[in-house]
Amino acid sequence: MPPENLTCQLVEGLRVKVPFGKRELIGLIVNTSAESEFALDDLKRIIEVIDQEPVIDASMMKLFKWAATYYHYPLGQVIHNALPTRVRQGKTLTIKTNSDSNSQENAKELTPQLHLNDEQEQVKASILQQGNGFHCFLLEGVTGSGKTEVYMQLIAEKVQAGLQVIMLVPEISLTPQTIQHLQGRFADKIVAIHSGLTDKQRFMAWTDARLGDADIIIGTRSAIFTPLRRPGLIIIDEEHDGSYKQQEGFRYSARDLAIYRAQLFDIPIVLGSATPSLESLHNALRKRYSLMSLEQRAAKAKQPTFACIDLKGKALSEGFSEQLLAAIKSHLQQNKQVLIFLNRRGYAPLLQCHDCGWTASCPRCETSYTLHRNSPELRCHRCESQRKIIPACPSCQSKALLPIGLGTERTEKKLEETFPDVPVFRIDRDTTRNRGKLENIISEINKGQAAILVGTQMLAKGHHFPEVTLVAVLDADAGLFSSDFRGQEFMGQLLIQVAGRSGRGENAGEVLIQTHNSTHPTLRSLINDGYKKFSRTLLEQRDITNLPPFSYQVLIRAEASNASLPMSFLQDVKNLTKKMLTNTTFALGPLPAPMEKRAGRFRFQLLLQSSSRAELHTLLNHLVPAYEALPQSRKVRWSIDVDPLDFS
């Protein structure tokens, strides 16, 4: 009920202080009504109305309600995820003046716009020609084709027109360099929003955007919930990247929410990638999005050449063939840089007893520990539990414990021993945990001296290393035989992205791929035909097998410390669901998850799939309350994942 001395109208988006048992909590008005199904005497009054105007405007409230409905997640939790901590705590929203809101030096010397080539100019003109209303563009541009410069000039047009722009990037590690690029180009205020900020930093950036003091907002997936006073454009860089899908709690896709938000705000949105997701590509080929292409690299740079190194029957030294080591030496002698890609952290993925075969395993996940040498320990990469390195086998007391397999630490050590006069930079989650560490490493790399870069997929995302002329993929085989129907797509995207770091400057680039499967059709298609034809072929295969994007999926997950509980719960869920299935919808499972045990909990899943998105969501709207009422629902941790990307 309204407070007794109400001084303003109660509308959606206002924060209020309310009684909750013996506590007082901060709430948000999401709806109002003149009637109640409860007696007035049973209702409690609002203690205090905190705001004079809504913290969340009508358009953002529509976005939150749509997201809660589409992802079948509680509205309160959706809003909780979207708001900075200080806003949720009821802190006063400081109203800034224009004089104190601009943190940029207006008098600084700015980097001028680069000259666009004909392809880039045509893309820019086509986007601007559509005007300020909603339109979704898919920009498919080969690596190094200058997509970023197109973004910059589009941003300039919108900012000059007095509008705000949101630009999303897939990783926090890419945010600082993108901000630096933007700050070098624009005198306008730029703010960053991502999970690496302090509560105060996030609150200030959110406030600047909400009040219109910030012209450009750069961030990771959570930045899509940033309020804007003068919305003008949304850009999703590397739109294919799986980082845009939240994998815990509120399992939303920032890319898909961005498209819906652009519709609500009636503004254009640009999805850019050298390796578009099959979902976006499918929408573009069906003319739901406008498909634009950049086929040539910018600034006269050429596409790198590809070659496979067949490892069958060849002797390897810590994972390196003689041919690859010779190629690395040749490029370094030309004072160039080399990038070694291995998507596996640590020293070795397995520690095994040579005498009895015992392996060091995480008891909470029933998977092998990864051996780390730089900070000596055994670490589980599933639950991040750690233990000290043991001196002897606990099974037979032998000291013949051998590290099996390769990780980035082991690769780094091998390269330092082989090329002692050349600096080796390792870039993975372990070396970039500390604030500013990645920026320092990249700064050293960009000095342009001969160097070797070793890293995981962090190296494949958006980095520009003009002196890298050789990219080597140590082990391409892991991604060729995935049980996930998206495995081929993900492998192709990652391979093309990491290969695209080569030859971005004046010198030609080379890509060498070590493999025991040099004739594999996926590899041959990528190398000979490129991602464009490869992706269209995958789409044809998905159409034949009626897999997404030609159908729609929902994954219901359940986990508990007792394996029988999630299995029993999902079987009950399936029994309820079967009563409402149509000819276009089916249920598969329940089955153990591919990663059956993690952090001491057993994990099972049930897949719902339909050729009709509307029918699938109608089914869930009717059944989710029934799922919640099941006796087992409170004994397990369960969740609904709409449009799942990760089945592990």
Predicted local confidence at residue 96, as pLDDT: 56
Please indicate, yes or no, whether residues 236 and 164 belong to a single structural domain of this protein. yes
Please indicate, yes or no, whether residues 215 and 165 belong to a single structural domain of this protein. yes
Q: What number of other Cβ atoms are within 10 A of residue 249's Cβ?
A: 12
Position 350 in a domain: no
Please indicate, yes or no, whether residues 144 and 279 belong to a single structural domain of this protein. yes
Residue 410 amino acid letter? R
Average of pLDDT values for 70-92?
Answer: 93
Position 371 in a domain: no
Number of domains in the chain: 4
Predicted local confidence at residue 7, as pLDDT: 72
Q: Which domain holds residue 59?
A: 15-88
Q: What is the pLDDT of residues 438-481, one digit of tens each?
A: 888 888 888 889 999 999 988 877 778 889 999 999 988 877 88
What predicted TM-score, i.e. pTM, was given to this entire model? Answer: 0.92
What CATH number does residue 47 fall under? 3.40.1440.60
The sign of the torsion formed by the CA atoms of 520, 504, 345, 180 equals negative
Predicted local confidence at residue 98, as pLDDT: 47
Angle, helices 58-70 vs 75-82, to 10°: value is: 120
Q: What is the pLDDT of residues 115-127, one digit of tens each?
A: 899 999 999 999 9
Task: Encode burial over 484-497: b for 16+ CB neighbours within 10 A, e otherwise.
Answer: eebebbbbbbbbbb
Position 129 in a domain: yes
Q: How confident is the model at residue 103 (pLDDT cuts 50, 70, 90)?
A: very low
Cis peptide before 420 (omega within 30 of 0): no
Name 216's bridge partners: 165, 190
Please indicate, yes or no, whether residues 131 and 224 belong to a single structural domain of this protein. yes
Average of pLDDT values for 357-372?
Answer: 93
The domain boundary, picked from 298, 315, 331, lies at 298
Tokens representing 225 are 């919930």
Please indicate, yes or no, whether residues 150 and 64 belong to a single structural domain of this protein. no
Q: Are strands 231-237 and 48-49 parallel, antiparallel or unpaired?
A: unpaired
Residue 464 and residue 468: Cα distance in Å, rounded? 9
Please indicate, yes or no, whether residues 500 and 439 belong to a single structural domain of this protein. yes
Please indicate, yes or no, whether residues 279 and 306 belong to a single structural domain of this protein. no
Residue 455 and residue 338: Cα distance in Å, rounded? 11
In the 8-state DSSP scheme, what is residue 420? T
Predicted local confidence at residue 396, as pLDDT: 95
Please indicate, yes or no, whether residues 146 and 245 belong to a single structural domain of this protein. yes
Please indicate, yes or no, whether residues 236 and 308 belong to a single structural domain of this protein. no
The domain boundary, picked from 274, 298, 322, lies at 298
Cβ–Cβ < 8 Å for 46, 34: no
Q: What is the pLDDT of residues 154-206, one digit of tens each?
A: 999 999 999 999 999 998 877 777 888 888 888 779 999 988 888 999 999 99
Please indicate, yes or no, whether residues 531 and 583 belong to a single structural domain of this protein. no
Please indicate, yes or no, whether residues 293 and 305 belong to a single structural domain of this protein. no
Position 99 pLDDT exceeds 70: no
What CATH number does residue 507 fall under? 3.40.50.300
Position 379 in a domain: no
Please indicate, yes or no, whether residues 441 and 521 belong to a single structural domain of this protein. yes
Whole-number Cα distances in Å, 310 to 66, 223, 478: 51, 44, 15
List of residues 6+ apart from 121 with CB closer than 8 A:
none
Position 508 in a domain: yes
Position 396 in a domain: no
Position 87 pLDDT exceeds 90: yes
Predicted local confidence at residue 36, as pLDDT: 83
- Cα first-last separation, the chain: 46
Cβ–Cβ < 8 Å for 419, 329: yes
The proportion of the chain whose per-residue pLDDT surpasses 70, expressed as a percent, equals: 98
What CATH number does residue 562 fall under? 3.30.70.600
Task: Kindly state the helix (H) or strand (E) to which residue 49 belongs, with its residue range.
Answer: strand 48-49
Query: Taking all residues of the chain, what is their mean pLDDT, rounded to a whole number?
Result: 91
Position 95 in a domain: no
